[in-house]
Structure 1
Amino acid sequence: MVDHIALCRGCRVGARACRFGADDFVAIDLNEGRVCLTCPFDVQGGPDVAHGGWISGVFDDALGRFLTHRGLLTVTATLTIDFLMPVPVERPLILTVRIEKEDGRRRFMSGSLRLEGDDRDRATAHGVWVERRPDHFDRHQAQMSGFRDPGSDA
């Protein structure tokens, strides 16, 4: 089974392409997927090395978005990144994702990031994604409506 995975909401609504370059994302089976991508030059954290924020963002996007091929809409509850080796910019990378365990609305996920053709992990991730309730964003909007915009005169 190979299933191409749709973009997240932010990219579908805006640019219509993945902000992280993770457009070539496929589900290998119900519990495992992979994406081929490249860190752009302008996201360096050091000379020719990907910024840790880009790496973290890619993991957050890929692990959460992977669940959509199972019809699940989730939000990130926890995410831990282990930076093991430098991740070079402008080199082909492979990010793999895996559902490790399911417990009710919670999905325990892991991921690894490698250079294409290399069997060493450059970074790994572990986290928990929670299936959203239908009113998730309504509750968020209601909570945020209580905050005044510091730039307004209200």
Structure 2
Amino acid sequence: MAQILDIKKKTLGNAEEFLTEKGWEFSEAQEPTDELMGSAVFTYRKSDVSDGAESFLSFVYSSFSDVTRITIQISKKEKYIEYLNSIKGYGCKQLSSKVEDGKIVKVYQGVTTTFVIKSATTSNYYDQEVVTWILSVFSNEDYKLNFGE
């Protein structure tokens, strides 16, 4: 989790270099517009036979401010538990938990950072149902301004 928080503080170029050094592969990017933030997507342990990967990480950024967001998709239960324990270890309190669009959505907030965890089921390349977790990391100010909690 500490590495994810560190990536969030980086510029796009520095984040790309850091992730590449750690074995992540650049996948795609979208430049920011007046209405939308830009993003760069990276994969970790990408499959050779499908578009799947062990993890996907999106670095979301603005060209008008220093606001950044990180979203990481996790497919391994052990990694999800590791991230969840780190969030709780930082002293974050659970603000809410609900079901939204068939996903369990939990929001945790600390002194400066808000974490949103979504638990969902999806079908993999072999048409098997699997659980995935999506962890999004925001500054508290960004989260309150854009998501109202």
TM above 0.5, one fold? no
User: Normalising by structure 1, what TM-score?
Assistant: 0.29
* Structure with larger Rg: 1
User: Normalising by structure 2, what TM-score?
Assistant: 0.29
> Whose strand proportion is higher, 1 or 2?
2
